[in-house]
Chain A
Amino acid sequence: MLNIRNFSIIAHIDHGKSTLSDRLIQHTNIVSERDFKDQILDSMDIERERGITIKSQSVCLPYKARDGKLYSLNLIDTPGHVDFTYEVSRALASCEGAFLLVDASQGVEAQTLANLYLALEHDLEIIPVINKIDLPSADIEWVKSQIEKDLGLDPESAILTSAKEGKGIEDVLERAVTLLPPPEGDPEAPFKALIFDSHYDAYRGTVVHVRVFDGRIKAGDTILFMSNNAAYKVEEVGVFQIIREPRKNLSAGEVGYIIAGIKTVSDTSCGDTVTLKQNPCEKPMAGFKEAKPVVFSSIYPVASDGYPELTLALEKLKLNDASLIYEKDSSVALGFGFRCGFLGLLHLEVVQERLEREYDLSLIITAPSVQYEIGLSDGNVIMIDNPAMYPDPAGIEFTREPFIRASIIVPDRYMGTVMTLCMDRRGLNKTYQYLTNNRLEMIFELPLAEIVYDFYDKLKSVTQGYGSFDYDLLDHRETDLVKLDILINGDRVDALSQLVHKDRAVERARLACDRLRDEIPRQMFKIAIQGAIGSKIISRKTISAYRKDVTAKCYGGDISRKRKLLEKQKKGKKRMKMVGQVMIPQSAFLSVLKTDD
């Protein structure tokens, strides 16, 4: 056990975490040069395409240290985006230490701080790493002073790396051995392991990712999940070395996986404790803080008979994404579907893309909403996250909406633009403080509803990429809410309704109508799009009928050109759903929230 080190790399998004992980993996030669690809731990297409990490992944790196001994270094990769703080938290529960990565030209950012606090909560040993020192704009001394002042860490212990150029990689591995503590635990005690993740393998059933704290486990043992007493016979245990590497056993301090023919998806839940049926441990470990969804949206299959497939896909995805919650929902316009809770907008997009890619589904996602507290005149208080459930306004005494505390770190030259952005979003500026002589942290209290859609993108754009953002939920506060309905050719389309602040209703209605006018292609008849509150129409747009256009001539047999045009049109619009007599593209449902570019 003395030769094991379990650690994470934590960082703000884009500070080079995945590249550093790549170099550590290459240095230990567990993957041949030929099989190696960049961002190797990000196995999902969507991660590679967007250059982000969504899922934690662990990898066991064999490393021969300068003291001549062979060590097992378990690296647990973590996401950087604010939506996935929950993933980071679970990964950290399996570690004794963490490398805190800071970009040498960007310095400390909002998620650097947030992730540092998370690591401290887990009582981890933290080693700062200054990465991207090869950049011309790198300012090592400036970053060191931030590490000291903002993070309260020893700047002299910071490792200097350029993951891109492979500099300082050996230092990271060596410091992991010398500075991070080995895991504690008793290999002879009753078996106790924490599930920090799991995924579904079509051939082997559920693969459970665990950190073993006490005891040991081997194939043939019978495991017991402590939350529900489900028992399974272990088929295989092993560690992750990009691919699964079976081992004879897993023992205290190790990170690895268990395969036990688990077909019932709901039996495994992250944060549960696994023990052995014979000689179980006394009590389960403290689980994880449950991730609280903050945005809610409905998912419907485009195909009218796609509901059973969607049900199955969500069950399997839930296994790999414990933060996803869902319940059955139905819509007049779209049929059966699910109301889902997400950690944020990026999470929503990721879930949508994973369902579409990994399960080959075609989906409609409705505009996201937050959860409102509504006090009724009969004295009851209900929670509403679905506009369809909004009660008759006559029976409402009060409405409260969730507020957040947002921390925004920017160079001070953007103070004015950030202020304008937050005020536009009904924000209250609480305080601000200079972190260094030209960077400041601004604290705002904002309605969550105002940030769920595109706040982060807007912040990035008004600060030319320099602004970073993190938030915590505060409380529910009194607000004035109305339900904005959208009528298409006079018919209310329930899946397009949204709950909005009264002062914003007209603007939102105009925006929604504009977006729908752009998204819905011309059809055989004129289409009227109206925004309404109750029976009052507050905005209106029309889509004229088809253009009379006949491609006159096929150029010398060039049939392909016209067909490609049709194929391109189709791709742009993706698939259409017939709502009443009108064909509405998938993308239209989410578009109603998009603000002006």
Chain B
Amino acid sequence: MCNEAATERKGGIYIHTPFCVQKCLYCDFYSTTNLSLTHDFLSALKTEIKIRKSAFQEFDTIYIGGGTPSVMPPEQTEDLFETIYKNFSIVPDAEITIEVNPGTVDLPALKRYRKIGINRLSIGVQSFSEKNLRFLGRIHSAPDALKTVQEARNADFKNISLDLIYGLPGQTLKSWEADLVKALEFAPEHLSCYMLTYEPDTPLTSALNKKHFSPLEEKKTGELFMATRAFLARNEYLQYEISSYSLRGIFPSMHNRKYWSFHPYTGFGPSAHSFSGSIRSWNHRSVTLYIEDLKKDQLPVENKEVLNREQKIIEAIYLGLRQTDGIDLKNFQTNFNRRFEEMFEDVVALLKNKKYLEIDQGRCFLSPQGMLFLDSIAGMFSGTDFYLK
């Protein structure tokens, strides 16, 4: 299922739409609620696309993320796609995704998306419970969510992904499973089930720090994670990444995979990141700085970095372990001139002993239990002296 050879040289295009009707309480992605800037943003975005125009690189994924891309009027999205198609070579069967939020799209808009070539929808449902939606600060209601998913099918989308969040305060296994059951009614091709994380500088985290609510106990969160895997597996959704599940394993997000597999991608819009294979660069976070730069016809790049060997190793491990396929050990040895098992002998032994990690058929991957500790385990690898050896 890992068709790397075919996608190896093809790139991904990411477009960050920095607008939201309202900021969700837990979200730390960059967005603004000043919708009056959409027009200027679009012309800046088109300028950036023209500057970054590439004749050689072929692209097989496009991902319009945000923010809330669906707050842009559909005719603006159409205008954007014309510019993309004019300046980049997109392969015929490319995966083209747009994120939409319930309450910001209707059937005509969805039909229009479909017409301009968008073939995958990622719907920010998050939950089908009114209480949870209010806690997260979402603008939509449970019926809104149901309506959007239904309309997506009506608009003939054959590849739909639903975003769900779990691990909310007070959440029980039963209430979470109710969300999953509801989601499966529409037989989406893909599910992203995110564990709620308290990111610094978000209203939710500050409420947590002020003890306005108590978070779900770690043990429960762990149980929900394990239950999610099991429940979805029973229903033919296979986990291929820590938060990602695909129906019968045939609809993984090709675009997200590029991030985890060191494939090249080009990001447009404020705070978007690009990766060339060794250089990462990123745009200004602020939409006004972004627009200003592009008015002067200059790239809105805030900074870039060239990855050194040590950094590449840390990323290879962190990103590899996110995926159920894990780290390809032969690849690792080719790239870094040393055997992975030798470089991390102690840590690997410790993790294997604890049954958090397995090595099998040339791959090193986390067990489901191990996945729960991904961040800490990545810290164990990066905390050792591997670069000295």
Contacts and interface: CB of A to CB of B under 8 A. Distances in A.
A581 B350 contact: yes
B373 interface: yes
B382 interface: yes
B218 A563 contact: no
A130 B124 CA distance: 72
B243 A583 contact: no
A546 interface: yes
Contacts of A525: 354
B258 to A, nearest CB: 8
Given A546-B373, A548-B372, A549-B376, A563 B16 contact: no
A550 B380 CA distance: 15
Given A524-B350, A524-B356, A556 B383 contact: no
A228 interface: no
Contacts of A521: 379, 383
A398 to B, nearest CB: 45
B265 A557 contact: yes
Given A548-B222, A550-B374, A557-B267, A576 B319 contact: no
**Which interface residue of A525, A550, A573 has the most chain B CB atoms within 10 A?**
A550
A551 B200 CA distance: 13
Contacts of A570: 379, 382-383
A552 B273 contact: no
Contacts, number: 121
Contact of B354 (A524, A559, A567, A575): A524
B315 interface: yes
Contacts of A552: 194-197, 242-243
A491 to B, nearest CB: 16
A547 B380 contact: no
Contacts of B384: 575-576
A562 interface: yes
A573 to B, nearest CB: 6
A523 to B, nearest CB: 8
Contacts of A567: 311, 314, 382
B388 interface: yes
A560 B305 contact: yes
A563 B308 CA distance: 12
Interface in A529-565: 546-560, 562-563
Contacts of B213: none
Contacts of B382: 566-567, 569-570
B371 interface: yes
B244 to A, nearest CB: 10
Given A548-B225, A552-B197, A576-B384, A562 B318 contact: yes
A383 interface: no
B147 interface: no
A556 B222 contact: no
Contacts of B271: 555-556, 558
Contacts of A362: 385, 388
A363 interface: no
Interface size classification for chain B? 35 or more
B79 interface: no
A567 B379 CA distance: 9
Contact of A559 (B272, B315, B373, B383): B315
Nearest to B303: A560
Contacts of B135: none
Interface residues of A, number: 35
A502 interface: no
A176 B249 CA distance: 87
Contact of A563 (B29, B318, B354, B376): B318
Nearest to B163: A553
A522 interface: yes
B274 A555 contact: no
Contacts of A575: 383-385
A552 B376 CA distance: 14
B378 interface: yes
Contacts of B354: 524-525
B65 interface: yes
A305 to B, nearest CB: 10
B218 A560 contact: no
Contacts of A523: 376
A550 B273 contact: no
A583 to B, nearest CB: 7
B155 to A, nearest CB: 25
Contacts of B218: 547-548
Contacts of A583: 380, 383
A551 B314 contact: no
Contacts of A573: 383
B243 A553 contact: yes
A303 B383 contact: no
A430 to B, nearest CB: 50
Given A550-B242, A554-B256, A569-B379, 7 more contacts: A548-B195, A555-B29, A556-B272, A559-B275, A566-B318, A570-B379, A570-B383
**Pairs of residues from A and B, 8 with the lowest C-beta to C-beta distance, nearest first:** A552-B194, A557-B273, A546-B376, A566-B382, A548-B222, A548-B372, A546-B373, A548-B218
Interface of B: 14, 16, 29, 65, 194-197, 218, 221-222, 225, 242-243, 256, 258-260, 265, 267, 271-275, 280, 282, 305, 311, 314-315, 318-319, 346, 350-351, 354, 356, 371-380, 382-385, 388
14 contacts: A303-B388, A546-B376, A549-B375, A550-B242, A550-B243, A552-B195, A552-B242, A554-B259, A555-B29, A556-B16, A557-B267, A567-B314, A570-B383, A578-B350
